[in-house]
A and B are shown apart, each in its own frame.
Chain A
Amino acid sequence: MDFYQQTIFKLKQYWAERGAVIQEPYDVEVGAGTMAPETFLRVLGPKPYRVAYVQPSRRPADGRYGENPNRLYKHQQLQVILKPTPDDVIEQYLGSLEAIGIDLRKHDIKFEEDNWESPTLGAWGIGWQVMLDGLEITQFTYFQQCGGVDLDLVPAEITYGLERLCAFLQGVESVYDIEWVKGVRYHDVRFAEEQQFSVYNFEMADVGTLWTLFDLHEKECQRLLDAFPKYGEKHRFPVLPTYDHVLKCSNLFNLLDSRGAISVTERVGVIGRVRKLAVGTAQVWMSQQFPAEAAQ
Chain B
Amino acid sequence: MSLDFLLEIGSEEIPDWMIPGALQHLAREFTGLCSTARLQGEGFQVETDATPRRLVLRAAGLIPRQADREEWIPGPAKSADLASPAVTGFARKHGVDPASLESRSDGKNERWGLRKQIPGAEAAEVLAKGLPPLISGIPWPKTMYWTGKGGARFIRPVRWLVAILGDRVVPFEFAGVSSGALTQGHRRLGASNISVTIADHETRLRENFVILKAADRRARIRNGIEQLGVSVKPDEKLLDTLVYITEYPACILGSFDRQYLSLPREVLVTVMRHHQKYFSVENSHGELEPNFVAVMNTADDPEGWVRKGNERVLRARFNDARFFWDVDQQKTMAQRIPLLANVTFQAKLGSYLDKTKRVAALVRELGGDDHALRAAELAKTDLTTEMVKEFTDLQGVIGGLYAKAQDEPEPVWRAIYEHYKPLSMEDAIPVTAAGRLLSLADKIDTLRGCFEIGLAPTGSKDPFALRRAAQGVVKILVEGRLAIPLRRLIGDSKPLEEFFLDRLRHYFREVRGFRYDEVNAVLAAGFDLLSDVEARLIALSQVRPTADFEPLAASFKRIENILKQASFSEAGPVDETLLEAGPETDLYTSFTAVRDRVHALGDYAPALSEIASLRPAVDLFFDKVLVNAPETRVRQNRLTLLYHLRTEFSTIADFSEIVTA
Contacts and interface: CB of A to CB of B under 8 A. Distances in A.
Interface of A: 68-71, 84-85, 87, 90, 94, 104-113, 115, 125-126, 128, 132-135, 142, 144, 150-154, 168, 171, 173, 260, 263-265
B309 A134 contact: yes
Contacts of B52: 111
A87 B276 CA distance: 30
B360 to A, nearest CB: 21
Contacts of B343: 264
Contacts of A132: 309
A105 B298 contact: yes
B142 A115 contact: yes
B581 to A, nearest CB: 78
A112 B314 CA distance: 18
B342 A105 contact: no
Given A128-B13, A150-B149, A134 B157 contact: no
Given A68-B320, A126-B144, A134-B310, A108 B298 contact: yes
A109 B305 contact: no
20 contacts: A70-B316, A87-B159, A94-B188, A105-B298, A107-B306, A108-B297, A110-B245, A110-B246, A112-B245, A115-B142, A125-B144, A126-B156, A133-B306, A133-B309, A134-B309, A134-B313, A144-B144, A144-B145, A154-B145, A154-B147
A264 B342 contact: yes
Interface string B130-149: 00000000000010111111
Given A115-B142, A150-B149, A264-B344, A70 B320 contact: yes
Contact of B309 (A85, A87, A135): A135
Interface in B298-317: 298, 301-303, 305-306, 308-310, 312-316
A275 B503 CA distance: 41
B367 interface: no
Task: State the 4 A-B residue pairs at the shortest beta-carbon distance, nearest first.
Answer: A133-B309, A113-B15, A111-B13, A108-B296
Contacts of A112: 13, 245
B312 A173 contact: yes
B282 interface: no
A147 B312 CA distance: 38
B571 to A, nearest CB: 59
Contacts of B15: 113
Given A69-B319, A105-B298, A106-B302, A154 B344 contact: no
A94 B189 CA distance: 13
Contact of A108 (B142, B157, B306): B306
Contacts of A126: 142, 144, 156
A201 B156 CA distance: 40
A158 B309 CA distance: 22
A94 B187 contact: yes
B510 interface: no
B144 to A, nearest CB: 4
Nearest to A68: B323
Contacts of B149: 150-153
Nearest to B145: A154
Nearest to B350: A265
Contacts of B245: 110, 112
A87 B343 CA distance: 46
A168 B188 contact: no
B297 A110 contact: yes
Interface in B303-354: 303, 305-306, 308-310, 312-316, 319-320, 323, 342-344, 347
Interface in B142-176: 142, 144-149, 156-157, 159
Given A68-B323, A110-B297, A154 B188 contact: no
B144 A173 contact: no
Nearest to B319: A69
A90 B308 CA distance: 25
B305 A133 contact: yes
B190 to A, nearest CB: 11
Given A90-B12, A110-B297, A113-B15, A173 B316 contact: yes
A22 to B, nearest CB: 25
B16 interface: yes
Interface in B265-315: 276, 294, 296-298, 301-303, 305-306, 308-310, 312-315
Interface of B: 12-13, 15-16, 52, 142, 144-149, 156-157, 159, 187-189, 245-246, 276, 294, 296-298, 301-303, 305-306, 308-310, 312-316, 319-320, 323, 342-344, 347
B563 to A, nearest CB: 56
Given A68-B320, A142-B144, A144-B145, 5 more contacts: A69-B319, A84-B148, A112-B245, A113-B16, A144-B144
B344 A265 contact: yes
Nearest to B352: A264
Nearest to A136: B313
Contacts of B347: 265
B221 to A, nearest CB: 14
A154 B145 CA distance: 7
A113 B309 CA distance: 21
B188 A105 contact: yes
Contacts of A263: 342, 344
A69 B302 CA distance: 29
B129 to A, nearest CB: 25
B314 A85 contact: no
A121 to B, nearest CB: 18
Nearest to A266: B344
Given A94-B188, A134-B276, A173-B316, A107 B309 contact: yes
A113 B156 CA distance: 10
B315 to A, nearest CB: 7
Which of the listed residues A68, A153, A264 has the most CB atoms from chain B within 10 Å of its own CB?
A264
B314 A134 contact: yes
A132 B276 CA distance: 11
Contact of A142 (B13, B157, B187, B309): B157
Nearest to A111: B13
Contact of B146 (A85, A111, A115, A265): A85
A164 B159 CA distance: 30
From B146, B157, B303, name the one whose CB has the most chain A CB atoms within 10 angstroms. B146
A142 B12 CA distance: 12
A144 B155 CA distance: 13
A107 B52 CA distance: 18
B149 to A, nearest CB: 5
Contacts of A69: 316, 319
A1 B576 CA distance: 106
A261 B156 CA distance: 40
A173 B149 CA distance: 44
Contacts of B313: 133-135
Contacts of A113: 13, 15-16
Nearest to B53: A111
Contacts of A152: 148-149
Contacts of A70: 316, 319-320
B145 A106 contact: no
